[in-house]
Structure 1
Amino acid sequence: MNNVNLGTLYGVSVGTGDPELITVKGLRLLQKTKIIAFPAGINNQLGIAQQIITQWLQSTQITVPLDFPYVRNKAILQAAWHKSANIVWQYLQKGEDVAFACEGDISFYSTFTHLATTLKQLEPTVKIATIPGVCSLVAAVSDLGIPLTINHQRLTVLPALYTVKELETALDTAEVVVLLKVSSVYRQVWHILQQRQLLEYSFVVEKATLSDRKIYTNLINHPDLQLPYFSLLVVKCDQKQ
């Protein structure tokens, strides 16, 4: 196959919600690329990445929502990744560039990684480039008005569905712990923080940088928060000392 004229897949980080958090380079790519892909929203709603970029797009650009289901079943996920990769490939093989807008940073627990990896399996010579941006944990501490780390503080970041043992280890070994997508385990985490007397030094941010974001400080009075999927928790372990 002659791949000289293949298009390039660009992974463009678009920040966590505020449309102005896109880098100049990312915005330039979004505005000059004809084909714009992004994760589809659920229940006929716009996805967050699409909401972020809509004001920057022109009516002449082609938008391509791709389905990335929020499930843990590996077979379902892989089938969705392959379907999305094949959709993108239809444009790339015609020499069209595709810009994939991804919430947060493109390399930080990103949907784009699955798309790019699957596409490479489909066609190893495909060209892929990524544009970094603002990820959720730095956006959240900006909303809180506190630094993420200072001096020699050790930082541990745990993704969703961590075990109690992993959390205990993180709290034992790091000065700052960030728990991503904490909604499904919040009550369990709250009790662990209560036992360690860390609630006073813990913070929750939901929908960081969005207009409807919510911030909770000193979690002593918040044992039963009903949090959305895009929520994270920051623990400043060393402040207790």
Structure 2
Amino acid sequence: MAGTLYGLSVGPGDPELITVKALGILQRVPVVAFPAGLGGKLGIAEGIAAPWLTPQQIRLPLDFPYVQDGAILRAAWQRAAQRVLEHLDQGEDVAFVCEGDVGFYSTFAYLAETLRQESNPIPIQIEIIPGVCSPLAAAAMVGQPLTLGGDRLVILPAMYCAEELEQVCGWADTVVLLKVRSVYPQVWQVLHRLHLLNRAVVVTWATTAKQRIYRNLEYDLHLELPYFSIMIIQISNPRDANLKTW
């Protein structure tokens, strides 16, 4: 009997933000897979899961290149799928751990789809375990709700959608920009033009020891941000002033 593949969400960075269900699965599966870190360094998801792993478990780093070339990515997904499939075919359960939530801009979806194709005509068993995603973690660290009542929330991958920001700010109540580093100067200019810099906050490495929060962006046009940076823009004032911050 083939093993089960678990898409295991392990949260935004703090190892204690993993769910009880995810922790139980993580500690009992024989094989734990994760995106390999760059340059031999510990990967983000691996680092979150590491405190909960035992020496007896097989650690399976999978290479996912940080490129946008479709052919290169598909080849990487196929290689990763074959490595995972070797364990599943032997009846071993595999947990693929992913920072944040596996259904939220995650590599897992591509791996799972490739595995479905590679495992035909016998489908593999896949189980998804949800978790804490980065926008919710960042809002908690800032100490303010993302939404209230009927507020409209928009989440954008900033590196791809910076040009849409001005339009979105015209109708949304809260905007979250993911991985804002590469387009921060452009975003800053848009917010400056819209007089929204005083309603924007940047959180880097949310919930980790490296976390930093930048609240006053009016004088921070040239912030040096890491890859994992989130901006929250509260365009409308909360309806209840007492809930502006927790």
Output the amino acid matched with 1:211: A
Q: Which residue of 2 aligns with 1:82?
A: 78
Residue 234 in structure 1 maps to residue 222 in structure 2: no
Which residue among 175, 180, 183 is the counterpart of 1:185? Answer: 183
Which residue among 198, 201, 210 is the counterpart of 2:199? Answer: 201
Residue 108 in structure 1 maps to residue 98 in structure 2: no
Which residue among 6, 13, 16 is the counterpart of 1:17? Answer: 13
CA deviations 1:8-50 (Å, max 9, x no partner) are 1001100011000000000000000000001110011100111
**Shift, 1:239, TM fit:** 3.0
SS class of match (2:232): strand
Q: Which residue of 2 aligns with 1:220?
A: 218
User: Contact (CA 8 Å) 1:157, 1:180: kept in 2 or not?
Assistant: yes
Partners of 1:168 and 1:126 in 2: CA distance: 44
TM-score by length of 1: 0.95
**Shift, 1:223, TM fit:** 0.6
CA deviations 1:131-187 (Å, max 9, x no partner) are 000000000001101111111110001114234442122111100000111111010
Partners of 1:164 and 1:136 in 2: CA distance: 19
Stretch deviating more after TM superposition (177-186 or 68-77): 68-77
Q: Which consecutive segments of 4 or more residues in structure 1 shift more than 6 A?
A: none
Partners of 1:178 and 1:32 in 2: CA distance: 36
RMSD (CA atoms):
1.4
**Shift, 1:240, TM fit:** 10
SS class of match (1:185): helix
Distance 1:205-1:160 versus aligned 2 partners, 3 A rule: same
How many residues are paired up?
Answer: 237
TM-score by length of 2: 0.94
User: Contact (CA 8 Å) 2:148, 2:238: kept in 1 or not?
Assistant: no
Structure 1: segments with no counterpart, 5+ residues: none
Structure 2: segments with no counterpart, 5+ residues: 240-246
SS class of match (1:232): strand
Question: Percent identical across equivalent pairs?
Answer: 51
Distance 1:164-1:36 versus aligned 2 partners, 3 A rule: closer
User: Contact (CA 8 Å) 1:201, 1:240: kept in 2 or not?
Assistant: no
**Shift, 1:70, TM fit:** 1.1
